[in-house]
Amino acid sequence: MHRLVFLAQLSVRLALAFAFALATLGILAIGAAAQTATVTATTGQSCAGTRFGSNLNCTSNDFTASLIFDQPSGSAISSCQAGETVIVDIIATVQSNSPDRYDIGFFLGENGINPDLNNPASSCSIGLFPTSPSPFNSIGDADTCGNFLSNGNATLLINDAVVKCLPVAGTTSLALPYVMSFDNNPSGNSCNVSNIKPGTTAKCIKATTSSVTGVTVNGYIRLTKQTLPDTEPGSFAFTTAVSPAATVTPSTASLVDGGIQNFQVPLVAAGTRTLTLTETALGGWDPTASISCTTPSGGSAAGYVTVNNASRSITASLTAANFGAYCTITNTKKPTVAVQKITTGYFGGPFSFSQTNLNAAPGDITTATVATAHPPAPTFHEVTSTGSTVTITEGVHPDFTIVSASCIDANSARTGNTGFRGSLSGDVLTIAAADMGPGSVYTCTFTNAASATRMSIGKSWVFATPSGDVNGNGLADVGDSIVYTYVVTNTGNVPLTNVVVADIHEGTALQTSPTRVVTGETLLSSGPVGTSTDAATNGSWDLLTPNSQIRFMYTHSVALGEFDAG
């Protein structure tokens, strides 16, 4: 699944006015002074308590601090998304009437954990005091950790510190947990950004509930759109509702497959803000979606997020603890089927169709030219139940015979339904359930040939028995007993009924009367359409389908009249 990373994507400049004074002078609230030094924060560092090896108590009476956060108007923001990482520039105004202090740096909690705690899972951005200009200095040592002269007054800009957007407890304001670390004595030349730490557990000033004035922390639902089949075109519209009332950003949105949108809403200071997203139904897609949601870390969000697949909605009860949800809505494209007709030999119609598992039957089709698919732009009908068999039955037409029928999926690149699909049995074309997956776009073509009635007859003879050859000369003579065998083949493309074979010998029909003895009346082979049938041995055949053959045998005594007639 897609995951957005906000580190180095959003830069927010926040101004912190730090006022320091001797404890005997009380707490000072000092406005911003002129900038005298600039440093760049070193990110991804261990925090002050972890470096010291125990939780810090920061009870030193050397300093007290009053923190005032103020954003420069040119880059001010009004909100950030809970849980995201923002990059901040911090302006610290520093004043001291204490003696010189050494190896000073600011620890800013990057992942919402207080820097004074001994927690290896925490990380901090560190802004070292520079070694110049005065009152920043390196007096007493020559390392990279700057010191600060007694009675000093200066402004320090710390660029590119990393902070996690989380609210101060009981508020909706952005929290910036920090620790200022220092020592009363120089450390020689050993201090650098990788090992700076307080001189004792008390040599620090901390703030765990400091906040940025005017910056609200937003809860959110991060929505990802998925389609079946994948990358299927379609834009899905979403609307929002919120309680208690608040501004949702954005209030509406549209997403295509693979699209991601964060819907943000301000958290409440205490309690729950309920955010609901609803997807508008889109024609050609299943009305029911498949929705899944997790916490931002990938765990179950069932405790504060409910989904309704039928109405395609997500409702999240957002709090400072459960501030976000990652949700995916998957939509399934309905398969569709259209019918075309090709005729050979002649054109005409109309051809009618019935169906199963489509929302409507294909309309009648009449061809106007031979060997051309009609209509050129057929109407597609939605499959009622995706993943179930579809059948299309062509009505009988007296002038045409079905030759073939098959389907091609125009969306095979996504569905995988390559080649011809569907099987024809009689006048019924069946598309298997396995081929009716999401997004299939089938055009099924029935090919019919103009009806042609044709028949061939073969005749052979043998002596009925050896004694049937009265003269024994192998020739047919008067009085010989001969068996005629007739083989009749339907060589056309339409079924034949009531097939009768009449063989006239000098005005005498051998095979026309039920009273005559007919033997061996059998079906030799059956063609592809229908089943050849007969109800009685009577010299006729009830049904003979294309390519089928039947055989009649008749025993005949050669008469003198046949010879007299030549």
pLDDT score recorded for residue 402: 94
Half-sphere exposure of 441 (CA within 13 A, CB side): 13
Give strand pairing partners of 448: 343, 402
CA dihedral sign, ordered 507, 511, 516, 519? positive
Q: 12: closest CA among 104, 90, 83, 68?
A: 90
pLDDT score recorded for residue 469: 79
Q: What is the pLDDT along the chain (566 residues), one digit of tens a residue?
A: 222 222 323 344 444 444 333 222 222 333 344 468 999 999 999 999 999 999 999 988 766 555 555 566 666 778 899 999 988 888 777 778 788 999 999 999 999 899 999 999 999 999 999 999 999 999 888 899 999 998 888 888 888 889 999 988 888 888 888 999 999 888 888 999 999 999 999 999 887 667 666 788 999 999 999 999 999 999 999 999 999 999 999 999 999 999 999 999 999 988 999 999 999 999 999 999 999 999 999 999 999 999 999 999 999 999 999 999 999 999 999 999 999 999 998 899 999 999 999 999 999 999 999 999 999 999 999 999 999 999 999 999 988 989 999 999 999 999 999 999 999 999 999 999 999 999 999 999 999 998 888 888 888 888 888 887 788 888 888 888 888 888 888 888 778 888 887 777 666 666 544 444 566 677 777 665 567 888 777 767 888 888 888 887 888 888 887 777 66
The three-point CA angle 196-85-66 to 5° equals 55
Q: In this structure, what token pair is assigned to residue 253?
A: 């949105």
Identify the residue whose tokens are 């009363």: 184
Give strand pairing partners of 69: 16
pLDDT score recorded for residue 83: 92
539: which residues sit within 8 A by CB, 6+ positions away?
A: 500, 501, 511, 512, 513, 514, 516, 518, 521, 552
346-385 b/e (C-beta count within 10 Å ≥ 16 → b): ebebebebebebbeeebeebebeeeeebbeeebebbbbee
Task: Report the alpha-carbon distance of residue 41 to residue 381 in Å, rounded.
Answer: 63
CA 111 from chain centre, in angstroms, equals 33
Q: Are 152 and 95 in contact (CB under 8 A)?
A: yes
Number of helical H runs and strand E runs in the chain: 3, 40
Secondary structure (3-state) at 559: coil
Task: Please report which helix (H) or strand (E) contains residue 147, including its range.
Answer: strand 147-148
pLDDT score recorded for residue 23: 29
Q: 62: closest CA among 30, 90, 24?
A: 24
pLDDT score recorded for residue 11: 41
pLDDT score recorded for residue 28: 33
pLDDT score recorded for residue 266: 95
pLDDT score recorded for residue 441: 98
